[in-house]
Structure 1
């Protein structure tokens, strides 16, 4: 005899159970339906109401009663997915179609109600030559980082405003100019031995016999703003000494200081002011030294302040029959000495009273020109006389040296 037939509920799942109805657990809360005695633990209870089995003459199933099954992805010999089969015909849900119908996926849209399209995966194979396969996403867009401008408004980073660009360009130009100027200044300060510098130095050393005396010592000189309180001055040349050596032209101590640079030639001239109250001798000592020797002498004068020592004053040139006839060593009131480094020349000037009075003590031009100086030379403006004449003779010498180095056009 065979096994007993299964329960009606097992043979007909849609039929309601016929036994065990009304059983309730004593611990079940109110409102929970009774559980069948043959129900397995952990399995949720079946609903108490099931639709009746569809019999003959029953209406056909509707779309709401039909469950749409997922379509399997067919394998492809090349590893690529085949063409996507069209979705079942029917209206899309957003167009009033029956609820539960799956809409058809449009071109480029992800599949709905099914597995994702493998062609849109990052691991999708590439076509020969490195081109992406059909349907593969190849464009990736990243957002730009944002910053803020001077008005606290957001702006993309990496972009400069017009003002920032102009400021950056100005800084670049100024920086290049400063670097070029520093390099040029360093070249000049270091006493470069370039061809132009050597030619200018040599040309300046030959000016004493290549340039007329009226160009080295003009008959009249204008000193605009050269007097006390920036007053104008006018000087007239009254005597010119013949060019000579340096024997007897300097006090012994000053001669000793100048010995290292030698003496090639000495030129001197004496001037008087418009009132003929002051007389000033200007001298140009052309040395035998090179640029290094002149630089060493200039450093010594600057370091030891030799231009301010009263025992290192130059001697005047007293020409007979002129306003400077009585201008001797005792009449020296103020003086100035300048050692050039771009020319083998020492420029000096010494001034005093035209009436032959003595001055004790004399005062260097730099001290006599200071504001508030109360000495006799300072009150009379003799420091301005010596410094003003020395400056203008030096400027003329530098101008002639620069002209001599220019090539004819």
Structure 2
């Protein structure tokens, strides 16, 4: 059977029409080309046939698949290089001294074995910095000083002592320690000063020290401090009136005898007598005169307490026959002030200092008083006696209070309430 008969029943396929000749694409005008206005394709010349197409080279065969490279194993650690000992130094040449090797360069070149650990680093590598530990301080090492000629080779640097602290004290710690030392020093100084001055710390001096000062006040304190020139008494007169007294006479210091104190000297004799001071005052109206006396005894503190108890037990301070004698200074308002003119008096036996203070008052015109009265009784409100109504009791009491205060102040004792008469 022929070939046509084999394809008689096959579907008829029309032939493929021939391809039209190649024509270049029309090039838009410059005003119609929105992409560019400068570079345009140059139209081909229709008179020149297009170049013949060159056949494409055959495609390269696909590259064979390369299996992935195996992982590179880690490089084994390089074993430490064997330590090479430096070559031995050649012997010194003939004619040179043996000290040629004792130089800084020689020791620095041959002392590596002293400061490096074997096998920890390669030769020529500087030693790593020492980071230290909490137990060991890390201070920079000092550079080695050049060795002197003939000296022994330098020794290896010392390691920090393991018992030392690892840190330097902080500035705040140093400041706290300094403040603590300063505070302790100030407290110690204050305590030593208090002990040296015999001060009890509450403003009151040591009783023994004050007693000793009171025994010497009669000749260590000025007269004007013991017997002020003018004494002001605010609200101390009768009915709360103000009083003022002016000093008109001061007797020289003398011994304690009956010539100056009368019978009172005999009662004060057991305490001994060191010195007697006296002064006379006149009031602002020049109608009353007052003599104030201060006798310094030789007794100690128990002796003054015994004397005070004796005066209190036997009421010696209120006995009329024991009134002190006045100081009648000539040429003053007290020129006529004698024993018969005494109107009121007071006697104070002090126990903190060895002093007995007394005062006696009278009229400046020389009138006699037949019934004298103790000052404490005459100063009571409503007293109808002559000393009470005239204010002579107030004069004696208030001036005695003032002199008592001045002697205590001279002894270093602060002012305190007036001591009542025994």
Q: Normalising to structure 1: TM-score of the pair? A: 0.50
1:307 paired to 2:330: no
In the alignment, which residue of structure 1 is the partner of 2:353?
343
Match of 2:272 among 252, 257, 262: 262
Distance in 1 separating the partners of 2:274 and 2:260 = 13
In the alignment, which residue of structure 2 is the partner of 1:212?
222
Match of 1:321 among 331, 335, 343: 331
Distance in 1 separating the partners of 2:280 and 2:377 = 23
Match of 2:283 among 273, 277, 285: 273
In the alignment, which residue of structure 2 is the partner of 1:233?
243
In the alignment, which residue of structure 1 is the partner of 2:396?
386
Deviations 1:28-61 (A, max 9, x none): xxxxxxxxxxxxxxxxxxxxxxxxxxxxxxxxxx
Distance in 1 separating the partners of 2:205 and 2:224 = 30
3-state SS of 2:252 partner: strand
Q: Which runs of 5+ in 2 are unaligned?
A: 1-203, 415-422
Q: CA deviation at 1:371?
A: 2.1
Shift in CA distance, 195/403, structure 1 to aligned 2, threshold 3 Å: closer
Distance in 2 separating the partners of 1:195 and 1:361 = 43
In the alignment, which residue of structure 2 is the partner of 1:285?
295
Instruction: Give 1:170-249 correspondences, 5 Å limit.
Output: 196-247=206-257, 248-249=259-260
In the alignment, which residue of structure 2 is the partner of 1:65?
none
Distance in 2 separating the partners of 1:294 and 1:403 = 17
Q: Normalising to structure 2: TM-score of the pair? A: 0.49
3-state SS of 2:346 partner: strand
1:251 paired to 2:262: yes
Distance in 2 separating the partners of 1:403 and 1:362 = 34
3-state SS of 1:255 partner: helix
In the alignment, which residue of structure 1 is the partner of 2:364?
354
Deviations 1:85-115 (A, max 9, x none): xxxxxxxxxxxxxxxxxxxxxxxxxxxxxxx
In the alignment, which residue of structure 1 is the partner of 2:307?
297
Instruction: Give 1:126-205 correspondences, 5 Å limit.
Output: 196-205=206-215
Shift in CA distance, 355/206, structure 1 to aligned 2, threshold 3 Å: same
Distance in 2 separating the partners of 1:199 and 1:245 = 25
Instruction: Give 1:67-106 correspondences, 5 Å limit.
Output: none
Aligned residues: 210
3-state SS of 1:249 partner: helix
Distance in 2 separating the partners of 1:336 and 1:271 = 15
Q: Which runs of 5+ in 1 are unaligned?
A: 1-193, 405-409
Shift in CA distance, 204/374, structure 1 to aligned 2, threshold 3 Å: same
Distance in 2 separating the partners of 1:230 and 1:329 = 29
Larger Rg: 2
In the alignment, which residue of structure 1 is the partner of 2:341?
331
3-state SS of 2:361 partner: strand
Q: CA deviation at 1:373?
A: 1.3
Distance in 2 separating the partners of 1:268 and 1:256 = 18
Moved over 2 A (4+): none
CA RMSD of aligned residues (A): 1.5
In the alignment, which residue of structure 2 is the partner of 1:396?
406
3-state SS of 1:288 partner: coil
